[in-house]
Amino acid sequence: MFNSFSRLGEVHGNERIGVEVLDTLRLALLRAAPLSVANNLFPLVTRGSVTLVYGNPRAQRIGKRGSNPHADLNRCFPRDLLEIPQSNFGSDYEHCRAKELAPLFASSDLLVDLHSTNKPSPPFVRLSGYDAVPSQLLEISGRLPAKILLLDPKHLIGDGQVALTDEFVGVHGGMGGCYESGLASDLSQSKIDSITTSVLQILQHDMDVIEFVNADRQRRSSGNVRVENAGDASERDVYEITQVFKLTGRGFRWADGVGEENFQRIQAGQPIGFVGSDPFVVNYDSHIVFPKIPALWKIDSPLGWLTRRVPAKIAFD
């Protein structure tokens, strides 16, 4: 049975939707503002714990991905982080912040990490490190408003190592997932409401840690939040990350019309881009995810990742 839920937003300071959702939930839990998506009721934690984590306050204050150029909190959670002395990190803010958060995440039964993308994208859920995704995690991830599921069984986002928040939770006995809401500039109320509703569904139906009360703390039902079933995983479009491609000293440029959005399909043998004057091609139909904006380009660091479409039946059997 789940007892500890951590809800993480604002790992990257320019991805504001996580802050909006956390603020909504925080004010409701403090009974300072009722939930419009729950018949103007308040959530009450009845057992276990619910922790809302503002991941990177320093980056949030300056509205940047990290506290300094190329800093990335979501690459600072190696498997052995709990054993690494704090003194090893010096004044590196992101690594120090990760060390501070590590005990909380290591003790979490479930973590949902909310992100958004720098280039246009449909919403999607990313699950990492699972050769076979636990059925319970599949069901929980199906509550999030997305029709796409991205699998990273080999930890390729972290260059083959445990490095991300949800991965860290996973190797310490919990379950974690990342929700990508779409383009970071989309802060529409409808999107905020849909994510908030999904989190409430997880807390109420999957974890059984909240109920809804009115201002007098009298228990009430919330028809807007109650749902019978999560989305069927077999109905989602499933992709698996196959490789990372990085910037080298030879330079890189995208092929015409490529690299401007997530899940763009490139036919086998067609140029994805050019390394120097040499075309970069693969021998399978691929879909690009997380194509980096030029401000994030750095020698020996990822420019993006390639995926391939996986039949849902094969992915989950």
pLDDT digits (tens, 9 = 90+) for 35-89: 999 889 999 999 999 999 999 999 999 999 999 999 999 999 999 999 999 999 9
> Region 139-143: what's the mean pLDDT?
95
Task: Identify the domain boundary among 234, 252, 286.
Answer: 234
Task: Identify the domain boundary among 181, 213, 234.
Answer: 234
pLDDT score of 2 more than 80: no
Q: How far is CA 159 from CA 62, 153, 218, 286, 297, in A?
A: 28, 12, 50, 19, 16
Q: Position 284: which residue type?
A: Y
Is 273 found in the same domain as 192? no
Is 225 found in the same domain as 84? yes
Is 299 found in the same domain as 175? no
How many structural domains is the chain composed of?
2
Residue 268, burial from CB neighbour count under 10 angstroms (0-12, 13-18, 19+) = exposed
> What is the CATH classification number for the domain harbouring 307?
2.40.50
Is 266 found in the same domain as 177? no
Q: Write down the pLDDT at residue 226.
A: 56
Is 293 found in the same domain as 229? no
pTM: 0.94
Is 167 found in the same domain as 88? yes
Helix or strand run (H / E) with residue 242: strand 237-246
Supply the mean pLDDT for the chain: 94
Is 42 found in the same domain as 132? yes
Question: What count of other Cβ atoms lies within 10 Å of the Cβ of residue 152?
Answer: 24
Is 128 found in the same domain as 178? yes
Write out pLDDT tens, residues 272-310. Answer: 999 999 999 999 999 999 999 999 999 999 999 999 999
Q: Residue 153's domain spans which residues?
A: 4-234
At residue 220 the predicted structure's pLDDT band, cuts being 50, 70 and 90, is confident
Q: Please tell me the least confidently modeled range out of 24-28, 227-231, 289-293, 305-309.
A: 227-231
